[in-house]
Structure 1
Amino acid sequence: MAFGRLERPRPSTPMSDINMTPLIDVMLVLLVIFMVTAPLMSSSLRLDLPKADGAKPLEAAAVLAVGLDREGRLFIGEQRSSLDELRQKAKEAAEKNPATEVHLRADSTAPYGKVAELIGLLQQAGLTRIGFVAEAKAP
């Protein structure tokens, strides 16, 4: 009987190189996703304003732009705001110039109760010149 030594296969050596292909693929997919979604995340307030015939607004010396979107969120200019912030800015504007005009841009599907609440808040702050911004009807 021959007793031989049993050969065990040598364990494979660990791979010391990193495969870059999956990393590059993931980074390119993320780049495409960010390129597509970046224009959608712009800070401009997009509203579906009601259509109406009327006179063009006159240029006012002092204007406070207030926006209300379809979910009832409030904006001062392009910045999202709360009722307390609007109340404070309206009081400051009324103290500075009582003839300050408010340009109220409300989405055509905005809740009527929110619009009425905004008008009451602005009048309590001392601003009585409130104008509704609308788009001109197509001919």
Structure 2
Amino acid sequence: MQKEIHEQPESLRITMRGRLICGGSCKAKSVMLGGIKDHLKTVRCSRRVVFIGCGASYKAALAARPILEELSGIPVTMEIASDLLDRQGPIYREDTAVFVSESGETADTLQALEYALENGALCVGITNTVGSAITRNTHCGVHINAGAETGVNY
């Protein structure tokens, strides 16, 4: 895990490469996430954005919550995938459900994705693994380009 901690600055540069739209003074004016651009109108009209994940993915989403609420003006809630499933928490068709998973194959998160799809929510995946179950089964998503996770033992 220390390796990944020390790689964070470079991972951030790689993740943002090609996504920052520069203005005249070469300062970033906006961010273009091509994987979700076709669904931005739906996201903007959402009643709320629900981030769903497990472990470190949940905590990463938790850290991003304040800035996302500030920038979007849309309420952002957080759910641990297994807890959402255990209590059959409310997910509505007016929601945007964002599934965060490094591998894109986390079992609880995939089950929560099925639940959100059944309830009609727009489902967005944020993962580091192209072709994973989350990237295949969500409506749209963002690949974070951070390299393989090495902090989890299999």
Question: Going by fraction, where is helix more abundant, 1 or 2?
Answer: 2
Larger Rg: 1
Structure 1 length-normalised TM: 0.33
User: Structure 2 length normalisation: TM-score?
Assistant: 0.31
